[in-house]
Structure 1
Amino acid sequence: MLYDFWNNIFLSNLPLIILLIYLFTIISTAVMVIHEKRDPAKTSIWVLILILLPIVGLIFYIFFGQNHRKEKIFNRKGIKDLQQIELLSQTQLVDIHTEKFFDIPSVADNLGIITLLLNNSKALLTQYNHVEIFQTGRKTFKSILDNIDRAEKSIHLEFYIIADDEIGNTIKEKLIAKAKLGVKVRLIYDDVGSWHLPKNFIKELTSAGVEVYPFMEVKFPLLTSKVNYRNHRKIIVIDGEVAFMGGMNIADRYLKGDEFLGTWYDTVLRIEGDAVSMLQIIFLVDWYFVSNKLEFSKDECFAEHNVTSQHSLQITASGPDSDWASIMQAFFAAITRARKHIYISTPYFIPNESILTALKTAALSGVDVRIVLPGKSDSTVVYWSSMSYVSELLDAGIKVYLFQNGFNHSKILMIDGNFASVGSANMDIRSFEDNFELLTMIYDQELTQRLEKQFHKDLRRSKQVNPKKWAQRSAKQNFKESLARMFSPLF
């Protein structure tokens, strides 16, 4: 009787109980979101999602919404080589304002950015480097394959996407051959970016002696809240002497294009000299994270070289494991110091309020600001969101161009002919906050002007947006852009 009594009470009050559970879930999660003190726009979107879609919204927040910047994803304090970097960065912070750095105009003009990166990411300024710039898949992969063929000690690769296609398998066979000859081959691939990479592809590599690890492996249904934080870096270091970095993944689309977008273009740097050690250290840290192994000698990390040419470079990495959004801060600092022109090429443009305000302020102050965006994209929703910013840019006097001859996947910032950045980071919130990214800051007139020359070629292959015609686009298109813009803080 007593059981029936309580059972009847429970059933009769079930709607109220469900409502209370719903309210408790929404309020407690919303309080947690607000307590993180993140960007107000992002906070508002998450609270709205939690209210409108309480169960689905909670699941999405657990997997994609939590902020892990202050909760270190892994502890890098035990890596001795990083302690050496710490000491060197402190020394450079003292030396950076001495006379020897003022002899190089591009360095002297950018001391503020250099100091910023020394403070927020311990990114060392390196001077003795030789740099080649590649902007097509054909030249990039030819150089990569040639250098893999010459490897004698080690080959380290780290990529967001490795495709099981012609170039992917060509590189795989090269790595297998080198591993069988005794070369130490280590490979990191992002588990989400390389989602479609077959197990047999990995098995062939490991069977030949190649060490392979995924970055933050995602297993269903055992998803973790860190599934949202992906390794978007692209690095190759060979024998500690030659390195490649940029925005290009390992995929045929950079050689053959695809049916919808046509030819894919990107920018990659081949580097010899001091900066190679910085890329080696970044790989070391990521290798330690995925494998929990420290197998690097000092000679392997800081290989000697005979480079005498001077191209001043500063390699900086950013991710949710760091205290500062260093890449976003570097972009902001660079944009705000511009006096003549700012040239930007990015496939995805979803800036935060700081970057957007900095760009508009520069243009309104008389700086020539030009941005090349894709005419069509591989991500429809992100494309709509990017297009939602065009009206604001045009109103501020920024010239916007839509690339027509294929898909320009390059991520480049060029300022005043003496500063440039090349790397994996898009000018979007995901690259600023969620992804593990990598940039090379270039303080060199020759290299910057070579990049600017290519930028002007890209302008000729682009269609400049006419403000009057843009204002006349359909209400349907305007609505799609506005809706995508509303959720852009989550992309």
Structure 2
Amino acid sequence: MNIEISWTQILIYLYTAVVLAFTVRVLYQQRNTGSAFAWLVILFAFPLLGVFAYLLLGEPRLGSARAKRSDEMNRFYSDFADQYLSDMGWDGTDKISPHYLGIAKVATDSVGLDVTQNNHMKLLSTTDEIVSAMLADIEAARKSCLLAFYIIDPQGKIKEVLNAVIEAAKRGVDCIILADAVGSHAFFKSEWIARLRAEGVEVHAALPVGPLRTLFTRSDLRNHRKLLIVDEKIGYTGSYNLVDPKFFKQNSGVGQWVDVMMRCTGPMVLEMAAVFYADVAVENDQNLTEVQHYLKRYIEDIHEIIPEPSQAQDIVAQVIPSAPSQTERIIYETIISAIYAATEKLVITSPYFVPDEPLLMALTTAAKRGVDVTLIVPAKVDSLMVRYASQAYYPVLLRAGVKIALFEGGLLHAKTMTVDDGYTLFGTVNMDMRSFFLNLEISLAIYDQNMTAEVSTLQQQYLAQSRYISIKKWQKRAKWWGLVENTVRLMSPLL
């Protein structure tokens, strides 16, 4: 019997085999159940598009060369901490409350950066405060000025900052700018790049994208860190991109962005500098060689950077860098651990809130066991998909007793979490899967009652400009809203 197989049948068999192969790969590679389910939905609903999308975005591929450089710099984190921070008496582990020791250990074991003592911090909660402080430190820089930002938007006050960096370079200060290639796309297309480089400022694009690179690396992995480090003695980090909110995204209809930064001095700044240099080094082999050469000189001069006792407050803190190249899901595990450690009060601010099941369970369980849990999010966000996905979780949270406050004073971009009266997590991490598993982020774990009280006071100021959601009013909405939100929620692990 002759069996004729048409080209159509061959294509159908081939098509089926490819979809099944990618289905198997999703099941093997996706550790997060929500992500695996979302990808399976896409593969079966839109097979050809799904296969193409998974090739581009399905797994955090950094490329083999970048991964090797990343491994080399990750070893630097650990060696740096072992040889210099601990030996110089900066280890602050014994000053942490036993209640939080386990949380600190999660981060130390994963990234090798220890808890340090003798740090000083100043909370800056307005754009004017942030920019004024940055300008003063840049203008006083003597040795180095290092900037790493997801977004640099050279408008308004930011022109003053960039001009200050140029003037610092003219004085002989080593100035380096690292900006995300996608987040700062307009910056790299502007005339500022030529001006900065002409005056001796090094400018690097983090995680550049392009059609050829897409074949070897995932194109939506982003460097979301925000860092300014001056003379390796002063460090800034927090939610603030290098933008002037009076000009930035004014057509999005969400109001001005509301941000917060922490100005730090003490040994933790050395860890922040280590994160910066590692990010520059992994971009290409030349950067790696130059950074390694610089770090040898940097370590030889480390005694000059030690904070003077008269200037140091005894704030115990830990720098936690997170990135998809790290095998452990460090910031995610830290957040989950901190939520379960709460006994009285837990307050979170985040512009984007799209949890997975373990995070949702941690929050609802905390509320059910009597913890006063408050989530502060913007009333309006610049992503419609994120807004709908976030709202799909409100009924579950509200029924468990979690308070949800909608901030109406603009797009609240601050990323903070306070636990009881002794622990603060502060930095660049949003409460979503992208920040947890895909972005390069940086957080500060602060084991200090006074600083926790300061951040808590700021959170209360946000609450004063917010309105609480009532579960009764929420349930009175038109039923079709729930259908829309729950449909979008299926894609929440990928947002």
Under a length normalisation based on structure 1, what TM-score does the superposition of the two structures give? 0.91
Question: 308, 313, 328: which one pairs with 2:312?
Answer: 308
In structure 2, the partner of 1:140 is 130
Contact conserved, 2:78 with 2:112, CA < 8 A, in 1? no
Moved more, 178-187 or 232-241: 178-187
For 1:37-76, what aligned pairs fall within 5 Å after superposition?
37-68=30-61, 73-76=67-70
Does 2:235 align with 1:243?
Answer: yes
Question: Partners of 1:422 and 1:254 in 2: how far apart?
Answer: 24
Does 2:185 align with 1:216?
Answer: no
Does 2:395 align with 1:405?
Answer: no
Does 2:279 align with 1:278?
Answer: no
* Alignment deviations for residues 129-153 of structure 1 (CA, whole Å, 9 cap, x no partner): 1110011111101101111000011
In structure 2, the partner of 1:117 is 107
Does 2:481 align with 1:477?
Answer: yes
Contact conserved, 2:85 with 2:267, CA < 8 A, in 1? no
Does 2:452 align with 1:452?
Answer: no
Question: Partners of 2:35 and 2:210 in 1: how far apart?
Answer: 27
In structure 2, the partner of 1:129 is 119
Question: Partners of 2:123 and 2:247 in 1: how far apart?
Answer: 17
Question: Partners of 2:475 and 2:391 in 1: how far apart?
Answer: 12
Aligned in 2, Cα 1:325/1:101: closer, same or farther, shift over 3 Å? closer
* Alignment deviations for residues 437-476 of structure 1 (CA, whole Å, 9 cap, x no partner): 1000111000100111111121111000001000111233
* Alignment deviations for residues 320-379 of structure 1 (CA, whole Å, 9 cap, x no partner): 010111111111111101110000111111112221111111110011101101100111
For 1:91-110, what aligned pairs fall within 5 Å after superposition?
104=95, 107-110=97-100
In structure 2, the partner of 1:201 is 192
Question: 414, 420, 423: which one pairs with 1:416?
Answer: 420
Q: Equivalent residue of 2:442, what SS?
A: strand
Question: 20, 36, 39: which one pairs with 1:27?
Answer: 20
Question: 394, 398, 401: which one pairs with 1:390?
Answer: 394
By how many angstroms is 1:118 displaced?
1.2
Aligned in 2, Cα 1:69/1:351: closer, same or farther, shift over 3 Å? farther
* Alignment deviations for residues 93-114 of structure 1 (CA, whole Å, 9 cap, x no partner): xx98xxx855x4x544311111
Question: Partners of 2:161 and 2:6 in 1: how far apart?
Answer: 64
Does 2:8 align with 1:15?
Answer: yes
Contact conserved, 1:363 with 1:369, CA < 8 A, in 2? yes
Question: Partners of 1:340 and 1:350 in 2: how far apart?
Answer: 24
For 1:243-392, what aligned pairs fall within 5 Å after superposition?
243-253=235-245, 258=250, 260-290=253-283, 291-292=287-288, 293-294=290-291, 295-296=294-295, 297-299=298-300, 303-306=305-308, 307-392=311-396
The alignment yields a C-alpha RMSD, in angstroms, of: 2.4
Question: Partners of 1:204 and 1:318 in 2: how far apart?
Answer: 32
Whichever residue aligns with residue 174 of structure 1, its letter is A
* Alignment deviations for residues 28-62 of structure 1 (CA, whole Å, 9 cap, x no partner): 11111112142122112212212222222122111
Does 2:91 align with 1:87?
Answer: no
Under a length normalisation based on structure 2, what TM-score does the superposition of the two structures give? 0.90
Q: Equivalent residue of 1:360, what SS?
A: helix
Moved more, 479-488 or 328-337: 479-488
Moved more, 417-426 or 346-355: 346-355
Aligned in 2, Cα 1:220/1:308: closer, same or farther, shift over 3 Å? same
Question: Partners of 2:477 and 2:102 in 1: how far apart?
Answer: 42
Q: Equivalent residue of 1:373, what SS?
A: strand
Aligned in 2, Cα 1:37/1:359: closer, same or farther, shift over 3 Å? same
In structure 2, the partner of 1:428 is 432
By how many angstroms is 1:86 displaced?
5.3
Aligned in 2, Cα 1:380/1:89: closer, same or farther, shift over 3 Å? farther
Whichever residue aligns with residue 84 of structure 1, its letter is D
By how many angstroms is 1:91 displaced?
6.3
List gaps (5 residues or longer) in structure 2.
none
Q: Equivalent residue of 2:182, what SS?
A: coil
* Alignment deviations for residues 151-192 of structure 1 (CA, whole Å, 9 cap, x no partner): 011001101001131233222221112112211101111111
Moved more, 296-305 or 346-355: 296-305
Question: Partners of 2:196 and 2:369 in 1: how far apart?
Answer: 55
Aligned in 2, Cα 1:301/1:81: closer, same or farther, shift over 3 Å? farther
Question: Partners of 1:373 and 1:70 in 2: how far apart?
Answer: 35
What is the percent sequence identity of the aligned residues? 27
List gaps (5 residues or longer) in structure 1.
1-8
Question: Partners of 1:37 and 1:344 in 2: how far apart?
Answer: 28
Question: Partners of 1:352 and 1:19 in 2: how far apart?
Answer: 35
Question: Partners of 2:51 and 2:249 in 1: how far apart?
Answer: 39
Contact conserved, 2:424 with 2:447, CA < 8 A, in 1? yes
Contact conserved, 1:240 with 1:277, CA < 8 A, in 2? yes
Question: Partners of 1:134 and 1:187 in 2: how far apart?
Answer: 22
Question: Partners of 2:93 and 2:177 in 1: how far apart?
Answer: 37
* Alignment deviations for residues 259-283 of structure 1 (CA, whole Å, 9 cap, x no partner): 5222321121000111100101111
Aligned in 2, Cα 1:90/1:454: closer, same or farther, shift over 3 Å? closer
**Number of aligned pairs?**
475
Contact conserved, 1:245 with 1:268, CA < 8 A, in 2? yes
Aligned in 2, Cα 1:414/1:442: closer, same or farther, shift over 3 Å? same
* Alignment deviations for residues 408-449 of structure 1 (CA, whole Å, 9 cap, x no partner): 100000011110011000111111111111000111000100
Contact conserved, 1:135 with 1:266, CA < 8 A, in 2? yes
Whichever residue aligns with residue 298 of structure 1, its letter is I
Question: Partners of 2:33 and 2:93 in 1: how far apart?
Answer: 40
Question: Partners of 2:155 and 2:372 in 1: how far apart?
Answer: 42
Contact conserved, 1:404 with 1:461, CA < 8 A, in 2? yes
In structure 2, the partner of 1:464 is 468
Q: Equivalent residue of 2:211, what SS?
A: coil
Whichever residue aligns with residue 228 of structure 1, its letter is D
Q: Equivalent residue of 1:226, what SS?
A: coil
In structure 1, the partner of 2:153 is 163
Question: Partners of 2:63 and 2:181 in 1: how far apart?
Answer: 23
